[in-house]
Amino acid sequence: MEGKALKLWQLYTQQPKLWEGWDYGSTPIGFHDYENAVLFGHPNPSQEFTEKEREGVKYHIANPKPVSFTANTAVDLNGVATATIMWQEREGEEMLGLITHEAFHAYQMATACPCGNISVVLKYPVNEPLVQALAEIEGRMLFQAVGVGGGEEIVRAALDARAARQALLSAKVATFEDETELGEGLATYVEIKTAGPGSQLWQGKLNLLQKINRNGWGADRLRFYYSGMAWALLCDRYAPDWQRGEWRPLANIVAEAIGHVPNTKEREYPTLDFDMVLAKHELEAAAREEAMKKSLAQALPGTGLRVEIFVKGNPVGAGWNPNTVVTYPGFGRFHSTRLFYYYDSGTKIDIGKDCLEKQNCLHVVFERPQLELLLDGSPLSFGNHQGNLKLTSGDCIVSIPLAKVRLEGNCLIAEEILA
């Protein structure tokens, strides 16, 4: 692992300039698997790391790895913003792009870039047909603009569709859109620049613009990875010095550069029939309501022990799949694949599939037909208790150092107590 990680670190640091003012060679990178971590470029690692040297490059290793190394993300490691990369997550140009994506998140963390308040996801109107129709239209206009080289008429149409949608949103939700494009969209923009316009990575990401919000795909968050990427490419086209300024909404930069005041009432878009797109979304909204019922039944079928976890600590490590998580307003975020949180209080939640995140990071609900329940190392009995709680099954583990616990019938409620 160390030798291959070194090669990746060298490829990463040898890239041409990607962003004005970012010395990406000074951004630490931590590669990790389930047990180990290899850290490059960190000036002062935490105490679990040991220094080594190879091919004239100093780096650090840790086994076990830091608890914050749980996903592809950026974390604060001993006061320094650090990218963490799951080992062998991808290959070739995709791996280099992933490393740079997460490294840019570390740069954003260090420079106070707004990245979107994740708690707002649960308020996003993912099943409002008009909102989703306008989002799809914006995505398709963006593809025409950056994917096939459309001109200012197409860009103005994208700006109009965006403004019309945001006029339907609360101020908090509209800000969430803009800031998530800054966070994830710019990281995706930098990611594709590592491979260049002729690459499969570049074209593959651009092609996803055509998928945005079709049948709700990426409706609440994932789509901003690609719309933000596209708006950044348009910033390159129309406002060449845009990277020198402060962090601000990307679409606003483009609108100012081309001198366009977006029309929130516009319903005419090149090559698209607005009424047809809206009618499609009205049908899809009804179908998604049925899909929601099935997903909720999948998470909470009523045939096992229902577990509700309430956490008060702050997450220091987290992981979930943005491609599979689905938001259901009023119910929560449904995770059909793994959800993982580790908190500064020592609490750990690791659920393999089928759970609801009722409140981001703080309230998780799931069911299992068979669970081992231990309180202070002994089997948990019915009633009210307090102590160290551990729940395990074949695909999940929950560990809370100190919790108030109530076990009644087929329901277990555990509320973390902070020491």
Q: Give the pLDDT band of residue 34 (cuts 50, 70, 90).
A: confident
**Residue 125 shares a structural domain with residue 268:** yes
* Closest listed residue to residue 141, CA positions, set 311, 307, 260: 260
**Residue 244 shares a structural domain with residue 312:** no
86-100: pLDDT as tens digits: 987 788 899 999 999
141, part of any domain: yes
Domain final residue pick, 279, 312, 331 = 279
pLDDT for 118 = 86
Whether 38 has a pLDDT exceeding 90, the answer reads yes
**Residue 146 shares a structural domain with residue 105:** no
Question: CB–CB of 30/39 below 8 Å?
Answer: yes
173, part of any domain: yes
Query: Computed from CA positions of residues 132, 135, 141, 146, in that sequence, does the dihedral angle turn out positive or negative?
Result: negative
Question: CB–CB of 358/367 below 8 Å?
Answer: no
Question: CB–CB of 274/380 below 8 Å?
Answer: no
The phi and psi torsions of 68 (rounded to 5 degrees) equal -80, -10
Which stretches within 120-168 are classed as H helix? Answer: 129-142, 152-166
290, part of any domain: no
List of residues 6+ apart from 272 with CB closer than 8 A: 137, 140, 141
The alpha carbon of residue 164 and the mean position of all alpha carbons in its chain are separated, in whole angstroms, by: 25
How many Å apart are CA 306 and CA 309, to the nearest integer? Answer: 10
Burial of 168 (0-12, 13-18, 19+ CB in 10 A): middle
295-305: pLDDT as tens digits: 888 889 999 99
100-141: pLDDT as tens digits: 999 999 999 999 999 999 889 888 998 899 999 999 999 999
* Closest listed residue to residue 182, CA positions, set 74, 118, 105: 105
For residue 184, the 8-state DSSP code is I
State mean pLDDT over 143-153.
95
210, two tokens:
């055509």
Whether 229 has a pLDDT exceeding 80, the answer reads yes
pLDDT for 216 = 81
Whether 40 has a pLDDT exceeding 90, the answer reads yes
**Residue 244 shares a structural domain with residue 342:** no
Element (H, E) at 404: strand 396-408
Length of the chain: 419
Whether 37 has a pLDDT exceeding 80, the answer reads yes
Whether 224 has a pLDDT exceeding 80, the answer reads yes
292, part of any domain: no
pLDDT for 324 = 87
pLDDT for 200 = 96
**Residue 90 shares a structural domain with residue 139:** no
pLDDT for 319 = 86
Whether 73 has a pLDDT exceeding 80, the answer reads yes
Residue with tokens 């707002």: 120
* Closest listed residue to residue 232, CA positions, set 316, 344, 151, 145: 145
State mean pLDDT over 61-89.
91
Residue with tokens 């040898």: 14
pLDDT for 380 = 96
State mean pLDDT over 221-250.
96
66, part of any domain: yes
13, part of any domain: yes
49 or 293, higher pLDDT:
49
**Residue 64 shares a structural domain with residue 132:** no
288, part of any domain: no
DSSP string, 210-269: GTTTGGGTTTTTTHHHHHHHHHHHHHHHH-TTGGGS----HHHHHHHHHT----TT---B
pLDDT for 376 = 97
Domain final residue pick, 218, 250, 279 = 279
**Residue 161 shares a structural domain with residue 306:** no
Question: CB–CB of 5/38 below 8 Å?
Answer: yes
Whether 166 has a pLDDT exceeding 90, the answer reads yes
- Rg value, the chain, Cα: 23
pLDDT for 419 = 79
pLDDT for 1 = 75
Question: CB–CB of 115/193 below 8 Å?
Answer: no
Task: Name the most confidently modeled range: 19-23, 69-73, 292-296.
Answer: 19-23
**Residue 45 shares a structural domain with residue 100:** yes
202 or 121, higher pLDDT:
202
Among the residue ranges 69-73, 282-286, 325-329, the one predicted with the least confidence is 325-329
**Residue 320 shares a structural domain with residue 256:** no
Whether 251 has a pLDDT exceeding 90, the answer reads yes
User: 23 lies in which domain range?
Assistant: 2-110
Whether 70 has a pLDDT exceeding 90, the answer reads no
**Residue 258 shares a structural domain with residue 332:** no
Mean residue pLDDT across the chain: 94
**Residue 99 shares a structural domain with residue 139:** no
* Closest listed residue to residue 85, CA positions, set 167, 182, 191, 175: 191
DSSP string, 67-118: TT--SSEEEEETTEEEEEEETTSS-HHHHHHHHHHHHHHHHHHHTT-----G
**Residue 268 shares a structural domain with residue 328:** no
Greatest Cα-to-Cα distance within the chain, rounded to the nearest angstrom:
69
Q: Give the pLDDT band of residue 291 (cuts 50, 70, 90).
A: confident
Question: CB–CB of 50/60 below 8 Å?
Answer: yes
* Closest listed residue to residue 40, CA positions, set 15, 13, 73: 13
Domain final residue pick, 68, 91, 110 = 110
- Number of domains composing the chain: 3
284, part of any domain: no
